[in-house]
């Protein structure tokens, strides 16, 4: 223990990111990355990126990116904030909308495990809400908090909550609702209209998943102007670098490419889900680029370790609610076939 470090930081359980193996040849199905390259427009932008311009600071408001996002979602650029990944925007929301001492943050359990970490960093109270037995929406009557994160489709389950349920909650909840739509491009519907029509709802999106750009760290939020202005007041000044802004603008201007690779991932997802069900796995209906599964006749932790020793990395979240399951990111068809082959080999010994 170091007397110079704040008590809240000393006792903090930091976020545990999925493993990023360095240099090893593995099939990586643990952090919901995209198996396909980003839009060819990105390579063109990079080839053209004038090194001369890197002398200059980037636009502090990411104006060019906000304009493309505004066109995409039929809103004004002033209703958009761009962040260093959507993680930055989630942190800003807590800092802007939740009073330390009195304020509180709600989210479903299980959902994105970063939320409680951000709350601990900001030293604000958490009010998690337990999901139902099949990880479905379950909200107690008269529930209140200053801010609620709805992850839809949810991570790590892939389940998307019914839109009417979300809409009713947004209209009655007494605080700010942040809809974390990191995976929504793999889903049937989205809730961006709630952020452009209601006055206390924000939607966050990321280029890390469907746009295959986890490497540049770029996310954004859409919402009512007063809330976006509040977030702008407290963000780092130059929070998104010049190259990330250029690349994001190119990728967002080519939504057809994103839809093409997302369709491929959805087809692979359905094929893999059926193949796993045939092998006795419980597979939850996924609207994301991963599957939440319970293996038959073998513990999740044991299957995780066995796959890992064979060079296939999936994700296991220890814990009461999540420990019996694995989250498997959807890779290419070849990668998923390799996964199924590995499971069949393990099956001979265990199932």
Ligand X SMILES: Cc1ncc(COP(=O)(O)O)c(C=O)c1O
- Candidate ranges 70-78, 82-90, 170-178, 292-300; the one touching ligand X (CB under 6 A): 82-90
Closer residue to ligand X in complex, CB, 61/86: 86
Q: Is 3 exposed, middle or buried (0-12, 13-18, 19+ CB in 10 A)?
A: exposed
- Candidate ranges 35-43, 57-65, 81-89, 189-197; the one touching ligand X (CB under 6 A): 81-89
Contact between 160 and ligand X (CB under 6 A)?
Answer: no
Contact between 180 and ligand X (CB under 6 A)?
Answer: yes
- End-to-end, the C-alpha distance of the chain in Å comes to 47
- Judge contact between 73 and 191, C-beta under 8 A: no
CB within 8 Å of 50: residues ≥ 6 apart: none
- Candidate ranges 83-91, 225-233, 242-250, 311-319; the one touching ligand X (CB under 6 A): 83-91
CB within 8 Å of 4: residues ≥ 6 apart: none
Residue 345 C-beta: closest distance to ligand X, Å: 30
Contact between 206 and ligand X (CB under 6 A)?
Answer: yes
Which residue is listed with tokens 């060079």? 311
- Candidate ranges 37-45, 52-60, 80-88, 222-230; the one touching ligand X (CB under 6 A): 80-88
Instruction: Choose, by CB under 6 A, the member of 160, 208, 322, 329 that binds ligand X.
Output: 208
* Integer Cα distance of 285 and 287 in angstroms: 7
Q: Is the peptide bond before 122 cis (omega within 30 degrees of 0)?
A: no
* Integer Cα distance of 61 and 46 in angstroms: 21
Q: Is the peptide bond before 156 cis (omega within 30 degrees of 0)?
A: yes
Instruction: Output the residue with the shortest Cβ distance to ligand X.
Output: 85
Contact between 329 and ligand X (CB under 6 A)?
Answer: no
Closer residue to ligand X in complex, CB, 12/214: 214
Contact between 30 and ligand X (CB under 6 A)?
Answer: no
- Candidate ranges 129-137, 206-214, 260-268, 333-341; the one touching ligand X (CB under 6 A): 206-214
Contact between 151 and ligand X (CB under 6 A)?
Answer: yes
Closer residue to ligand X in complex, CB, 97/112: 112
Residue 226 C-beta: closest distance to ligand X, Å: 23
Task: List the structure tokens of 226.
Answer: 């007063």
- Judge contact between 85 and 218, C-beta under 8 A: yes
In the range 84-103, which residues lie near ligand X by CB under 6 A? Answer: 85-87
Instruction: Choose, by CB under 6 A, the member of 80, 93, 105, 182 that binds ligand X.
Output: 182
Contact between 109 and ligand X (CB under 6 A)?
Answer: no
Task: List the structure tokens of 292.
Answer: 């939440």
Closer residue to ligand X in complex, CB, 130/199: 130
* Integer Cα distance of 125 and 116 in angstroms: 9
- Residue 205 DSSP symbol: E
- How many of the chain's residues bind ligand X (CB under 6 A)? 13
* Integer Cα distance of 44 and 147 in angstroms: 41
Task: List the structure tokens of 225.
Answer: 């102007």
Q: Is 143 exposed, middle or buried (0-12, 13-18, 19+ CB in 10 A)?
A: middle
Residue 53 C-beta: closest distance to ligand X, Å: 25
Instruction: Choose, by CB under 6 A, the member of 219, 223, 224, 295 that binds ligand X.
Output: 219
Instruction: Choose, by CB under 6 A, the member of 65, 105, 155, 248 that binds ligand X.
Output: 155
CB within 8 Å of 54: residues ≥ 6 apart: 242, 243
Phi-psi region of 147 (alpha: psi -120 to 50; beta: other; left: phi over 0): beta
Residue 178 C-beta: closest distance to ligand X, Å: 10
Which residues sit at the interface with ligand X, rule CB under 6 A?
A: 32, 85-87, 112, 151, 155, 180, 182, 206, 208, 214, 219
């Amino acid at each position: 223990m170091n007397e110079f470090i704040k008590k809240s930081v000393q006792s903090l359980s930091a976020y545990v990111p999925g493993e990023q193996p360095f240099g090893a040849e593995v099939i990586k199905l643990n952090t919901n990355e995209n198996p396909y390259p980003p839009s060819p427009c990105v390579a063109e932008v990079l080839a053209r990126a004038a090194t001369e311009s890197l002398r200059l600071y980037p636009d502090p408001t990411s104006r060019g990116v906000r304009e493309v996002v505004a066109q995409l979602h039929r809103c004004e650029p002033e209703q958009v904030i761009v962040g260093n990944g959507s993680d930055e925007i989630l942190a800003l929301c807590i800092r802007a909308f939740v009073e330390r001492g009195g304020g509180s943050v709600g989210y479903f359990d299980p959902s994105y495990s970063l939320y409680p970490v951000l709350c601990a960093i900001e030293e604000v109270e958490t009010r998690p809400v337990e999901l139902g037995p099949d990880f479905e929406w379950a909200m107690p009557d008269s529930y209140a908090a200053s801010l609620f994160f709805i992850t839809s489709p949810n991570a790590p389950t892939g389940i998307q909550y019914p839109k009417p349920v979300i809409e009713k909650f947004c209209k009655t909840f007494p605080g700010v609702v942040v809809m974390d739509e990191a995976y929504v491009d793999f889903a049937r519907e989205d809730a961006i209209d709630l952020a452009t029509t209601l006055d206390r709802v924000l939607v966050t999106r990321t280029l890390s998943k469907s746009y295959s750009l986890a490497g540049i760290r770029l996310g954004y939020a859409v919402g009512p102007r007063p809330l976006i202005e509040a977030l702008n007041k407290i963000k780092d000044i130059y929070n998104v670098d010049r190259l990330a802004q250029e690349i994001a603008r190119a990728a967002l201007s080519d939504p057809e490419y994103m839809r093409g690779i997302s369709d491929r991932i959805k087809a692979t997802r359905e094929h893999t889900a059926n193949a796993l069900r045939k092998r006795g796995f419980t597979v939850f209906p996924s609207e994301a680029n991963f599957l939440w599964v319970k293996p038959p006749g073998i513990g999740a932790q044991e299957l995780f370790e066995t796959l890992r020793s064979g060079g296939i990395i999936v994700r296991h979240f220890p814990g009461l609610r999540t420990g019996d399951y694995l989250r498997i990111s959807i890779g290419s068809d070849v990668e998923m076939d390799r996964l199924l082959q590995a499971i069949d080999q393990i099956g001979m010994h265990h199932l």
